[in-house]
Amino acid sequence: MISPSSLYLHIPFCRIKCTYCAFNTYVNLDNLIEPFVQAMIQEIKIVGSSKDRQQLHTVYIGGGTPSLLTAEQLQRILAAIQSEFDLLPGSEISMESNPSDLTSDYMASVRAIGVNRLSIGMQSANESELKLFERRHDLNAVIKAVEAARKGGFDNLNLDLIYGIPQQTLADWENSLKVLLQLQPEHVSLYALGLEDGTPLKTWVETGKYPAPDDDLAADMYDLATDMLGGAGLAQYEISNWSKPGLECKHNLQYWRNLPYPGVGPGAHGYADGVRYSTILSPQRYIKVMKETQNNFVYPRTPATDQAVVVDRDSEIAETLIMGLRLTQEGIDRETFRQRFGEDLLDVHPETIARYEKHGLLYVDDKVVRITTKGRLLSNMVFRDLV
Ligand code: SF4
């Protein structure tokens, strides 16, 4: 059976570059947004037309800050997707957003064009942490954004929080979690702060302006979050993600099940027809190559494709294991694995799996292999040994 694809769209614009951010995103390029929308529509047409009509069951508009696009621009992008793909009934259409952009009129318009899942970058409920990140919103803007989204008709909201922030105490983190729970999101994503090369935050830590994140404290924060979110009826289904029952992010499940997702836009990543690829980073170059484009690209490549690697069987197995073990409830279904690769998962890594099962890091039965609560703390070691 051919499973439907997911489509990722990368919107590479932001108003302000947050101090921790290493995503492919640019400020002060608002004049390029409209030419970019036209270029993205062109790329969607190429991806859609270079293969027999494909079924999609999720679309994810990420970035960057997709909420810098008008509802009309988003509508044209979605119309291009609908004309080039079979968007299945009930498809999940997610969009990331910055709280400062979310008025109730904008939310109602975005909901009306078909976006049915909204991710709001809350990041913290503590003003000092939002200032450290140079986020362009305060807590009040987050509360108003959630109100606007609800008023606009969104019943599937994700809120993101970051933990392990320099100078953040366990009490600060507890406060962020409490405020988040008061906002009653259907889905929560928690990210441990990473100090990324080239970011101001990394420089500040390296020069001693701020202390380095404390790994032990971050582990305590993770445990606290697990207790608080679980206690509020949000079930953990992935190492960093919790949701109300049935509202897991279908798009991200596609990644963790290692299933196909073409990606479009500058700096997008994609995986389709056995090819893993990334696109050119510069929005200016992206607009230029898409304008000058000729057809005849071999799916999933487009004029914007930069790097592309054909994934061999061993790599596909390794990626399927690493991604699948992130799914804390679902794990890796042994029958699905056998159908995909023609052999039982336990025959691929018999000794490693037996050893980790014996030490209580992996749970194994006739149907699944999955990571245990104890294994989650050592997940990097388990993943490394399995590839
Ligand atoms: S809003 Fe998001 S994508 Fe933009 S700079 Fe901040 S963290 Fe990065």
Taking only the tens place, the pLDDT of each residue in 141-156 is: 999 999 999 999 999 9
Question: What is the Cα Rg of the chain in Å?
Answer: 21
Report d(CA 194, CA 352) in Å as an integer.
29
Helix 215-231 / helix 170-182 crossing angle, nearest 10 deg: 30
- Nearest CA, atom 3, ligand 1: 64
The 10 Å Cβ neighbour count of residue 313 is 10
Q: Which two tokens stand for residue 107?
A: 């939310």
pTM recorded for the entire structure: 0.96
Predicted pLDDT of residue 2: 67
Under CATH, which number does the domain 313-385 receive? 1.10.10.920
| Number of Cβ within a 10 Å radius of residue 98 | 24
- Residue 356 and residue 345 in contact, taking contact as beta carbons nearer than 8 Å: no
Atom in ligand 1 nearest the alpha carbon of residue 16:
5
Whether residue 68 has its Cβ less than 6 Å from ligand 1 = no
Structure-block tokens of residue 360: 């209580």
CATH of domain 5-256: 3.20.20.70
- Do residues 270 and 276 make contact, with C-beta atoms less than 8 angstroms apart? yes
Instruction: Establish whether residue 26 lines the binding site of ligand 1, counting it when its CB lies within 6 angstroms of any ligand atom.
Output: no
* Cβ within 8 Å of residue 8, ≥6 positions away: 60, 62, 251, 261, 262, 263, 264, 265, 268, 269, 270
Cβ of 97 below 6 Å from ligand 1: no
| Shortest-distance atom of ligand 1 to CA 14 | 4
* pLDDT at site 66: 98
Give 167 Cα–ligand 1 centroid separation in angstroms: 21
CA angle 114, 116, 120 (to 5 degrees): 125
Give the model confidence (pLDDT) of 41-74 as tens digits: 999 999 999 888 999 999 999 999 999 999 999 9
In short, whether 106's Cβ falls inside 6 Å of ligand 1 is no
Average pLDDT across the chain, whole number: 96
Determine whether the shortest distance from the Cβ of 66 to ligand 1 is under 6 A. no
> What is the pLDDT, as a whole number, of residue 47?
95
Closest residue by CA, ligand 1 atom 8 = 21
**Which atom of ligand 1 sits closest to the CA of residue 123?**
7
User: Is there an atom of ligand 1 within 6 Å of 67 CB?
Assistant: no
The closest residue, in CA terms, to atom 6 on ligand 1 is: 18
Instruction: Give me the residues paired with residue 5 across strands.
Output: 56
The ligand 1 atom at the shortest distance from the C-alpha of residue 64 is 3
For ligand 1, say whether the CB of 23 is within 6 Å of any of its atoms: yes
Domain positions in the chain: 5-256, 313-385
Identify the segments of the chain with pLDDT beneath 70: 1-2, 295
> What is the Å distance from ligand 1's center to 180 Cα?
19
Q: Which residues contact 36 (CB under 8 A, 6 or more apart)?
A: 11, 12, 13, 283, 286, 287
Q: Is the CB of 130 under 6 A from ligand 1?
A: no
- Position 380 scores a pLDDT of 80
Q: Pocket of ligand 1, candidates 18, 24, 123, 135: which has the most ligand atoms within 8 Å of its Cβ, to mutate?
A: 18
